[in-house]
Structures are given as structure tokens and as C-alpha cells.
Amino acid sequence: MGKEKRVDRRPESLVLIEDTEAHVLFNMLLNCKSIVATTGPLAGVPPTLLAPVAFHGATLRSLQVRESKIQMGGDSFYSMEMRGPVLPTTVQHLCNLLQTNMEEFSIALASHESTKAFTLSGLYSKSGAKSTTEDKENADKDCTNSSNAAFCQEGLSDCGQSASILRRFCSSDSKSLQQFDNIKFSNEIYSWSL
């Protein structure tokens, strides 16, 4: 048990469950009493499953969104705050959306400690937003025996994610998965702080 605790909340603790094995996982989560904490802030709360698509028995939870407009020295600034479980691809999708409509923007990020293993971010470029055949081939070439190789082995080409996002999931470069505090886009260049 001590060995298991050392990988909690780290990328190595990620588990891939598919097909009929998902039903076995649901049964275990529903029926195994030792999985649910009996003390502490999460007492009585079962493990949380996060998925980008609906599954049988799932509950849809929207992010809490708050927006505002700020006037400073004659300039208008717009602010949007999102709270809740943000999936790994959300930051990239948000950056891709904003860069097509704005010349510059910044994003401040604060992760909940227990979700750090889900954080997906990496090196962004203006051309990286477009998905090409070459991108898909490069994503396949990046598959190695790293901890992210499970994603490559399962053939994610038909999962609905763009090639640039799959390339980061499957990359053997440990810097492709980082947790950012701040992302800024200006003059078609991304900069960030960790």
C-alpha cells in the first residue's frame, strides 16, 4: 500500500479502462466500501470519474462561469472566471479559440492539488491550431515507452481530439505535460510561467 501512495496525484497514477472492463470498474466503485474515505474532508464521497463524453450513469456538471468588463484608463478589459473540473484539453481548446479572435490575451490558472495529474499544457504556436496529416503522423512517431505511451497504444486517432492535442498526450518529452500558472498570447507568440 505504501508504494501506491507514492504515485497518488501524479501522472503515473493514471489508469486506462475500456470496453467491458468499464463495467467492472463501475461495480467496484459502487460496491467496494474500502474505496470511499471514512474520515477527512472527502468522507463518504466516492471516487470521481472525469470524462470528455457522457457515459451511462454519468452526471453532467457545468463549470461555474463568471464574466465581467473592466474599464482602465479608457481601455476595456474582459475577464472570465471558470471554476470546476477542467479537463486536460480545455486549456488548449480555449487558447485556440481565443487566438483566432483576439490579438492578445492572458490566462491565469490555479489547479486543485488532487487534479494536477490531469493538467495538460505545452508549447503552443499559431500554426499549431491547425490539424494536418503531418501532425497526425508526428503524433504517431512520438509514441514511446514513457508513461504516456498508454494513450498511443490505444490508437487515439479516432477519439475526436485534434492532432496537436494528441501529440502532447503521446509525447515522450516530459516538458509537454506541465502545470502553468499563467499563459500569455501576444504578437502571435505564447509565453508562460510555471
Tell whether 8 and 80 lie within a shared domain: no
Domain range for 131 is 65-193
109 lies in the same domain as 41: no
CA 106/CA 5 separation, integer angstroms: 36
Residue 132 and residue 183 share a domain: yes
Q: Are residues 74 and 17 in the same domain?
A: no
Residue 89, pLDDT score:
74
Number of domains in the chain: 2
Please name which of 32, 35, 31 lies closest in space to residue 48, comparing C-alpha atoms.
35
pLDDT given at position 7: 62
Task: Judge whether residue 141 has pLDDT over 80.
Answer: no
Q: How confident is the model at residue 9 (pLDDT cuts 50, 70, 90)?
A: low
Indicate whether 100 belongs to any domain.
yes
- 8 Å CB contact between 170 and 143: yes
Tell me, yes or no, whether 157 and 85 share the same domain.
yes
For residue 131, pLDDT beyond 50: no
- Would residue 55 count as lying in a domain? no
Q: How confident is the model at residue 96 (pLDDT cuts 50, 70, 90)?
A: confident
Single pTM value for the model: 0.51
